[in-house]
Structure 1
Amino acid sequence: MTPFHLVYDGEFIVPVEVGVESDRIRVYDKNNAERRHLELDLVDEMRAKAVVRLMAYRQRMKQNYNRRVIPRSFQVGDLVWKKVKPVGDVTKFGAPWVGPFQIVEKLHSGAYYLEDEGGRKLERPWSANHLQPYGAR
């Protein structure tokens, strides 16, 4: 079953097949219209099967993705490492994490405002994807 068949309820004929006599054109007879009407009765069933397969595929993708996700949540006052954002001439031997930073505020979106050891609050919130518990390093 091709996408063309799902949309237009039939198979397409390539322009080359129209000019050059193919088996498809040669075998065409008057009963094709009747068979076509019978196929149209089954179109809804074919579409329903395609929807079920698509939903099963999406469910498998979701399970595969969720299996690899590492949930991270922090509370106000927790100490965390912050991932280093490479800017300019950063070598691969540099430390990937800096810290410790303390969580000052938790936003509803899962982002956190941080404060360094000197009490200076960072200007933007950080996603939990870029943070790691301080004791886990």
Structure 2
Amino acid sequence: MITSTHLHPQANGQAKSNNMIIINNLQNTLGAKKRRWAKELAFVLWADRTTTKNETAQTPFPLVFGTEAMILTEMVFPTARTNLQTRETNNEAIAHDLDTVDNLRDLSKVRIAAFQQRIAKSYDKNIRIRRFQVGDLVLRKAFQNTTNPNDGKLAPKWEGPYLIDSEAGKGAYWLATMEGEILRMPSISKPTLCKLEIIF
């Protein structure tokens, strides 16, 4: 089974995010009658699948099935949309929608990319990029595999001090101990991760 973050929603938090939306909608719908969640789940899922999303400017239903969903009241009360359709015109409309669904999906991919760029731009404007020089004393962020598991929550968050020996690439540095021994892996100082902290 492939569990990379692009193909595995459990790994990249996408499933958890979608489930939180459904749980919040269920809580708002049920109020104090929490035991009726099984009866209300179908309506909450239908509402979620037929609500326009900001990222795609579309509802998920036409992206999957190629045609716009009918709301439940249109099935009970006659509307122009249901009364003016014949079986032949409906089949023609469905065939046309299926032919154009790929264009709709491509347009949604472009909108998602633009949305992600806007989110990244708004996030990055608050980031302060930190540059290090050769010879600076720094602390390196301690990871779970480098700390003592018996320390638990009291484990140190940083390890070091280390000297910056040389630059290994964009934002990556070779570190050396105070005795001059160079560490095997270069340490990265990205704006979002900031794995190095300078000592003043």
Same fold (TM > 0.5) = yes
- With over 3 angstroms needed to count, the CA separation of the structure-2 counterparts of 1:95 and 1:3, relative to structure 1, is closer
Q: Deviations over 1:32-83 (max 9, x none)?
A: 829949x97xx79x95985775455223311232134342221222211122
Structure 1 or 2: larger strand share? Answer: 1
Structure 1 or 2: larger helix share? Answer: 2
Question: Is residue 11 from structure 1 mapped to residue 72 from structure 2 by the alignment?
Answer: no
Q: Deviations over 1:11-38 (max 9, x none)?
A: 257xxx9xxxx3479625349829949x
- Match for 2:123 among 65, 68, 75? 65
Question: Is residue 92 from structure 1 mapped to residue 153 from structure 2 by the alignment?
Answer: yes
For the pair shown, which has the larger CA radius of gyration, 1 or 2?
A: 1
- With over 3 angstroms needed to count, the CA separation of the structure-2 counterparts of 1:79 and 1:58, relative to structure 1, is same
- With over 3 angstroms needed to count, the CA separation of the structure-2 counterparts of 1:28 and 1:97, relative to structure 1, is same
Cα deviation, residue 132, structure 1: 0.7
Question: Is residue 121 from structure 1 mapped to residue 179 from structure 2 by the alignment?
Answer: no
CA distance in 2, matches of 1:115, 1:53: 45
Q: 5+ residue gaps in structure 2?
A: 1-57
- Match for 2:89 among 23, 33, 56? 33
- With over 3 angstroms needed to count, the CA separation of the structure-2 counterparts of 1:74 and 1:3, relative to structure 1, is same
CA RMSD of aligned residues (A): 3.9
- With over 3 angstroms needed to count, the CA separation of the structure-2 counterparts of 1:50 and 1:91, relative to structure 1, is closer
3-state DSSP of counterpart to 1:73 = coil
Of structures 1 and 2, the one with the larger relative CO (CA 8 A, separation 6+) is 1
3-state DSSP of counterpart to 2:117 = helix
- With over 3 angstroms needed to count, the CA separation of the structure-2 counterparts of 1:74 and 1:5, relative to structure 1, is same
Cα deviation, residue 98, structure 1: 3.0
CA distance in 2, matches of 1:95, 1:51: 43
3-state DSSP of counterpart to 1:61 = helix
Identity across aligned pairs (percent)?
Answer: 27
3-state DSSP of counterpart to 1:64 = helix
CA distance in 2, matches of 1:63, 1:124: 30
Question: Is residue 130 from structure 1 mapped to residue 195 from structure 2 by the alignment?
Answer: yes
CA distance in 2, matches of 1:4, 1:63: 29
Cα deviation, residue 106, structure 1: 0.8
- TM-score, normalised via structure 2 length: 0.46
Q: 5+ residue gaps in structure 1?
A: none
